[in-house]
Structure 1
Amino acid sequence: MKYKQIKWLILFLPTITIALWEYIRHEFLLSYINMEMGNILSPIFVFIVTFVFLRHLFSILERMQEELRVAKAKEAARGEREKLARELHDGIAQSLFLVSVKMNKFGRRNHLEHDADFQKIKQTLQHVHEDTRQAITNLKYVPDEAAFSWTETIYQYVTELKRQHIMDVGLEWEIQEETLSSKEKVELFACIKEAVMNVIKHAKTNQVWIVAWEIDDGWICQIKDLGSGFTNEAIHSSKGYGLQIMKDRARDMEWGFTMKKIDNETVVQIKKEGK
């Protein structure tokens, strides 16, 4: 039912109701209901009929208005995301590319191709450039919530990792789709991506494992690698931005977060327990 039709029904329903009641009363009920009783029953009957039907119409109208509000909010958010993506692309991304070109020229001119510090700076710049490009992609891509599949997203992400970074990624995902809320899916996926990016940047390995399983009152997700990573002392003293982001996300979701070195294995663990 369209918005305009609902408004017309709300406007005319009381009039139609009283007209029908008066017609039926005078044509069929005068021998059973006298005029005085009919006059008393008229407002009661009109109230009951209009209350039942108008309540339903109002609920439809409210639902339509809420859907319109949500659609407008999503459109506004999409516009802001696209605007921010353009600003990142036209500003930071292009500036980083220009700096990278100038650094390569500077390195060749000063014969720094084999200088360890220079190569480390180049690698850092490349990581920043990749992070910026990924941020632009994330801003441009707004998943369709109705068709959003958590499991499919995880497998697509692993495929992209293998293709873009030539990594050996092991995936054992046993958390059921319905176990996670929409917000949990978004936040957990962001933590996984941040943990994997830390492995790519710092662990000096091309092997990583993503393991997740359900427990009696929640679930556990681990991201593991065999790279150089951190010592347990460095983990506790680290003030890295990526690590802090994961801690903050986990805290906001009331999840447990740990990162520790077990033998030669660095393990990032995110755990949800029942309350």
Structure 2
Amino acid sequence: MKYRQIKWLILLLPTLTIALWEYVRHAFLLPYISMDMGNVLSPLLVFFVTLVFVRYLFSILEKIQEELRQEKEKQAALIEREKLARELHDGIAQSLFLLSVKMNKFGRKNKLEQDPDFIRMKQTLQHVHDDTRQAITNLKHSPSDSSESWTESIHQYVDDLTHTHLLDVNLDWRLSETTLSRKEKNELFACVKEAAMNVIKHAKTNKIWITASETAGGWICEITDFGIGFTSESLKAGLGLQIMKDRAKDMNWNFSIQRKQNQTTVSIKKEVT
């Protein structure tokens, strides 16, 4: 039912009700119902029809208005995301690309291509550039525009990792959609993506295991790789790890990272007390 039709029904229904009642009363019920009794029944009948039908129409109207409000908010958010993506592309991304070109030129001029410090600087710059491009891509595609479920988004992300970064990803996702709230889903997905990007950047391996399952008191999600591992210095300096720790802390989750039997495991766990 359209918005305009609902408004007209709300306006006309009480009038049509009283008109129909007066016709029936005078045409058929006058010998049985006195004028005084009919006058008493008229407002009661209008009140009953309003309570049953008009109230239902108002609920539909409020639902339509709420959907329109949410759609406007989504459109406004999408416009802001696109604006921010353009600013990142035209500003930071272009500056990083220019800096990369100048750094390569500087390295060739001073014969620093094999210098370890220079190589690390180039790698860091490339990582920042890749992160910026990924952020631009994420901003251009709002998650609210997708009709796919959260679990389908996880599988789609794994497919993207396989084709874009040539990773061999083993996914075992047994976490129900209803187990987590919407905010928890977004935060956990962000942690999984951050952990996967850390493997791509630092672990020097092309295999990764992502598992998630429900436990007796909540759920657990683990990201495991057989890469080169980490040092205490890299743990302190790692921005990605700190972001995951902060996300987990904000959500009251348990976060841990372990190196055991040549494998590194990032664990995010929720325990319900």
Question: What is the TM-score when the length of structure 1 is the normalising length?
Answer: 0.91
Which stretch shows the higher mean deviation, 161-170 or 15-24? 161-170
Deviation at 1:146, TM superposition (A): 6.4
Structure 1 partner of 2:134: 134
Per the TM alignment, residue 98 of structure 1 is displaced from its structure 2 partner at its CA by 0.7
With 25-34 and 207-216 compared, the bigger mean Cα shift is at 207-216
Counterpart of 1:115?
115
Q: Structure 1 residues 127-136 or 9-18, which shifts more?
A: 9-18
Which residue of 1 is the match for residue 265 of structure 2? 267
- Distance in 2 (CA, whole Å) between partners of 1:177 and 1:46 is 46
Cα deviations by residue, 1:221-242 (Å, 9 ceiling, x for unpaired) = 10112323324x558x726332
Inter-partner Cα distance in structure 2 for 1:211 and 1:42: 67
* 1:143-187 deviation digits (Å, cap 9, x = unpaired): 356622333333332233233333333322222344444433322
For residues 232-270 of structure 1, give each alpha carbon's deviation from its aligned partner in whole angstroms, at most 9, with x where no partner exists: x558x7263322221222233332211222343221111
Asked if structure 2 preserves the Cα contact closer than 8 Å seen for 1:204 and 1:229, the reply is no
Using the TM superposition, give the Cα deviation of residue 272 of structure 1 relative to its aligned residue in structure 2, in angstroms: 2.1
Please state whether the residue corresponding to 1:95 is helix, strand or coil.
Answer: helix
Q: Is the 8 A contact 1:82 1:140 kept in 2?
A: yes
The answer to whether the 8 A contact 2:74-2:144 is kept is no
Q: Which residue of 2 is the match for residue 14 of structure 1? A: 14
Q: Secondary structure at the match of 2:143?
A: coil
1:62 and 2:58 matched:
no
Distance in structure 2 (CA, Å) of the matches to 1:107 and 1:101: 10
Mind listing any 5+ residue stretches in structure 2 that lack a counterpart? none
Say which SS state the counterpart of residue 228 (structure 1) adopts.
coil
The answer for the alignment partner of 1:218 in structure 2 is 218
- Point out the more displaced range, 132-141 or 254-263: 254-263
Runs of 4 or more, structure 1, over 4 Å off, are: none
State the Cα deviation string for residues 69-99 of structure 1 (Å, max 9, x = none): 0000000001001111111111111111111
Q: Distance in 2 between matches of 1:243 and 1:212?
A: 19
**Are 2:198 and 1:191 aligned?**
no
Partner of 1:46: 46
> Counterparts of 1:259 and 1:240 in 2: how far apart (Å)?
12
Residue 63 (structure 1) shift:
0.4
**TM-score w.r.t. length of structure 2:** 0.91
Q: Output the CA distance in 1 between the equivalents of 2:193 and 2:62.
A: 39
Q: How far apart are the structure 2 equivalents of 1:248 and 1:229?
A: 21
After superposition, residues 78-93 of structure 1 pair within 5 angstroms as 78-93=78-93
Q: Is the 8 A contact 2:229 2:262 kept in 1?
A: no
Q: Structure 2 CA distance, aligned partners of 1:179 and 1:41?
A: 53
**What runs of 5+ residues in structure 1 fail to find an aligned partner?**
none
Q: Does residue 254 of the first structure (1) align with residue 252 of the second (2)?
A: yes
Specify the code of the residue in structure 2 equivalent to 1:272.
K
SS of 2:214 mapped into structure 1: strand
Partner residue of 1:172? 172
Equivalent residues of 2:161, 2:167 under 8 A apart:
yes
Distance 1:139 1:49, change over 3 A: same
- Show CA shifts across 1:198-219 (max 9, x none): 2222333333221222223422
Q: CA RMSD in A?
A: 2.1
Which one is further off, 11-20 or 166-175?
166-175
Q: Which amino acid aligns with 1:202?
A: H
Give the 3 Å change call, closer, same or farther, for CA 45–183 of structure 1 in structure 2: same
In 2: Cα distance, 1:270 partner to 1:71 partner: 33
Q: Which has the higher mean CA deviation after the structures are superposed, 82-91 or 158-167?
A: 158-167
Is the 8 Å Cα contact of residues 199 and 229 (structure 1) preserved in structure 2? no
Give the aligned residue type for 2:168. Answer: D
